[in-house]
Amino acid sequence: MKPFAIYGKKPRGSKTSKREILSGIPVFLHSSTIETRKNVVCYHDKPPYPRIIVSAGETYWACRLKIEEFFSKNSLEIKETLETLDKNYGLPKNLMDAKIKSFEYEIYDSNPRLNGYSVVTPFHNGEFLYLWADASVAPTKTYNGKVTLDKDLIFDEYLKRKIK
């Protein structure tokens, strides 16, 4: 187990976040369909609140079962790692998640038929070009108070990739 991010502050319980004890380890389970797309992120419930595991699934309970299985198989290794973890280790959650979102994203020129992919229509050579990108990682802008994909940045990136 290599925690790569920390929660950054004391997490608070809510309807999407729960404190639990798994295999004798206090954890904080955070789920949010907006931010994590049906994932459950498991943090150690002691400072600096390192991220232990992220579980993906169709439902909260499917994710939860995967986390419980992981803890039952790896509890000794998890305990040892958490006890020897440098308290200054890791990046705060919001910085780590923003860094992940800055990674390259896919741009399709035909409909990929996947959830979360939105169409943008930049005007090029006298006609509209239809491009699809993942709304959760592609660049966005606010237009009339609504967050939409930034078609100009996506189109520029599309042209750069075509030239390569």
- Residue 70 pLDDT class (50, 70, 90 cuts): very high
Radius of gyration of the chain (CA): 20
Q: Are residues 93 and 135 in the same domain?
A: no
Q: Which two tokens stand for residue 28?
A: 């904080």
Task: Decide: 44 and 26 in contact? Cβ < 8 Å.
Answer: yes
SS3 41: strand
Q: 50 with 111, same domain?
A: no
Mean pLDDT of the chain: 79
Measured CA to CA, the distance from residue 139 to residue 152 in angstroms comes to: 10
Same domain? For 87 and 31 the reply is yes
| Residue range of the domain that includes 50 | 5-100
Which of 58, 80, 100 is the last residue in one of the domains? 100
pLDDT greater at residue 139 or residue 98: 139
Residue 37: pLDDT over 70: no
Q: How many domains does the chain have?
A: 2
Residue 33's pLDDT is what?
61
Could you say which of 45, 76, 100 is where a domain stops?
Answer: 100
pTM above threshold 0.75: no
Q: HSE (CB half, 13 Å, CA atoms) of 106?
A: 11
pLDDT, residue 34, reads 53
Residues 120 and 91 in one domain: no
Question: pLDDT tens, 85-104?
Answer: 766 666 566 665 555 555 57
If asked whether residues 69 and 110 sit together in one domain, one would say no
Per-residue pLDDT band at 1 (split at 50, 70, 90):
very low
Higher pLDDT, 152 or 143: 152
Residues 137 and 95 in one domain: no
- CA–CA dist 59, 42 (Å, integer): 15
Give the tens place of pLDDT for each residue, 102-129. Answer: 557 788 888 887 777 888 888 888 889 8
